[in-house]
Amino acid sequence: MTMVLGNGNGRTHVTPQPVPVFEGETARAWQRQYSRWLLITDSLIVCVSVVLAQYVRFGDSAGIYGHRDHLKMTLFSLVFIALWLMCMSVFHTRSLRVIGSGIEEYRRIASASFWTFGIIAMVTLLARTPLARGYLAVALPVGFLGLLASRALWHYYVAGKRANGGYQTRVLAIGDRMAVSHLVEELTRNPRDGYVVVGVGIPGYGPSRGKRLMVHGGEVPILGDETHALAAIATCGADTVALTGTERFGARGIRQLMWRLETMDVDLVVAPGVMDVGEARLALRPVAGFPLLHVEKPQYQGAQSFQKRAFDVCFAALALLGISPILIASAIAIKLTSRGPVLYRSERIGIDGKPFTMLKFRTMVDGADKQIDRLLPLNGSPGGMLFKIRQDPRITRVGTVLRKFSIDELPQFINVLKQDMSVVGPRPPLMREVERYDCDVRRRLLVKPGVTGLWQVSGRSDLSWKESVRLDLSYVDNWSMAGDLLIIAKTIRAVLARRGAY
């Protein structure tokens, strides 16, 4: 069971929870089974990649080099396999804390793989034998990409199970009403994260009275205060206790709580109260026995570094070269089916509030901008900050196809080459949007807008203004090159799925 404590405010949307009877497998059961399946698939991929490397490098070595050399190569392959799998274990790539977590799991796999090949390279260099060169050329890309692909498929499988109610982590949340409500909202925002809040404990509430905490039309049973709620762990089937604050417990109380949950095989997690802070910026450092959570400063200045600019230019150039047939075909289709220019030029606001002209394929009738006032009552964007219509009458037939597959946005890679935009970044805003920004939202202008971004892979036009801003600010505060690569990979999947494109 995991217990999560956290401080926060805001309202929570929760679907009604069937509680408090515990049925089905525990989180421990499915996690351990999942970890065993990962071990099997990891072992198969490593073995296949090394055997393939030996075959490609040496072929039928028994017939060429003799049986003694063939035996040596086979023994070397076995050592190679054992070393790789050992590094996978040393780097905890199958830890219950990271499986299914995405980028951290991939990072550990990468570290384990490159450490393996580093060790092999050093040993063969010291031994003055070229034996492993062929392995490095074949086994590294085949094995590494195979491991990443395997984990991605497992993630897809687990997400599907969670969406259907399986592979759940049952959480008992403890904290004041406002904090618990906010915590429940975040934990249950995406069903594919696999969290189900089976009960809450409110300090000072007393014993359970059969009442429920109402949150945006949903409800979660109130199991009493911190003392009574903990006694109900076995009943509600929680495998995790989440705390929104530790003030009510104190240092001695928290220590006793950890000891008690340890005997029950229940996890304890404490929400620090900070939101949208990337893992790379968080560091837990004990000071005189007191754990302090250090939050590093945002690295958004690094988004303007040579590394990101070089990546943007190289990626945009290669992308334009690779998609040139699509660009030409789209331009011809637009020109033959409707009057007006092929490209639509829109003034957007870039880094530091500087305006630039963003290029897109024209997907609407010529002069569509002049019709906005007439169509404002049809705006489907909550809050009115964005202008979105699901069935916009101004869109041409060709434009519908271009929008569905996001082809209309491809000319923006030209903006990337002109250094007006980045491959990954916040959504490029209009001037009328920027004029309504408050101080917080203006942080979006600290980096270049992107062809894609968190908004692109998280719903696009389906997002509300509040969600769009939150994602953009999260990107600005937690920028990293690895994060950009992950967003690009997710963008390809989002475009193929055509989610939120209209």
d(CA 272, CA 7) in angstroms, rounded, equals 7
| Amino acid 15: pLDDT | 37
Structure-block tokens of residue 179? 């904090």
- pLDDT higher than 50, residue 4: no
Domain ranges of the chain: 2-26+167-295, 27-162, 303-497
Angle at which helix 481-497 crosses helix 103-126, to 10 degrees, equals: 120
| Closest by CA position to 443, among listed 298, 273, 275, 346 | 298
Residue 461: phi and psi, rounded to 5, are -70, -15
Alpha helices in 188-323 (DSSP H): 226-231, 233-236, 250-263, 306-322
- pLDDT higher than 90, residue 305: no
- pLDDT higher than 50, residue 23: no
- DSSP-derived secondary structure for 96-110: TTTTT-SHHHHHHHH
pLDDT tens digit sequence for 258-277: 888 888 888 888 887 766 67
- Range with lowest mean pLDDT among 222-226, 318-322, 412-416, 497-501: 497-501
Higher pLDDT, 87 or 306: 87
58-72, 168-182, 272-286: which is most confident:
168-182
Radius of gyration of the chain (CA): 27
| Closest by CA position to 484, among listed 399, 436, 422 | 422
| Amino acid 229: pLDDT | 78
Higher pLDDT, 297 or 376: 297
- pLDDT higher than 50, residue 157: yes
Is the separation of the CB atoms in 146 and 49 below 8 Å? yes
DSSP 8-class letter at 352: G
pLDDT tens digit sequence for 394-430: 889 999 899 888 899 999 999 999 999 999 999 898 8
* Arithmetic mean of pLDDT over the chain: 80
Q: Report pTM.
A: 0.68
- pLDDT higher than 70, residue 59: no
pLDDT class for 22, splitting at 50, 70, 90? very low
> For a pLDDT cut of 70, what percent of the chain falls above it?
79
- pLDDT higher than 70, residue 107: yes
| Amino acid 348: pLDDT | 94
pLDDT class for 11, splitting at 50, 70, 90? very low
Which positions ≥6 away from 321 have C-beta within 8 Å? none
- pLDDT higher than 70, residue 242: yes
| Amino acid 294: pLDDT | 76
d(CA 440, CA 472) in angstroms, rounded, equals 11
Is the separation of the CB atoms in 183 and 242 below 8 Å? yes
| Amino acid 345: pLDDT | 92
- pLDDT higher than 60, residue 1: no
d(CA 68, CA 408) in angstroms, rounded, equals 62
| Amino acid 6: pLDDT | 43
- Average pLDDT for 7-21: 38
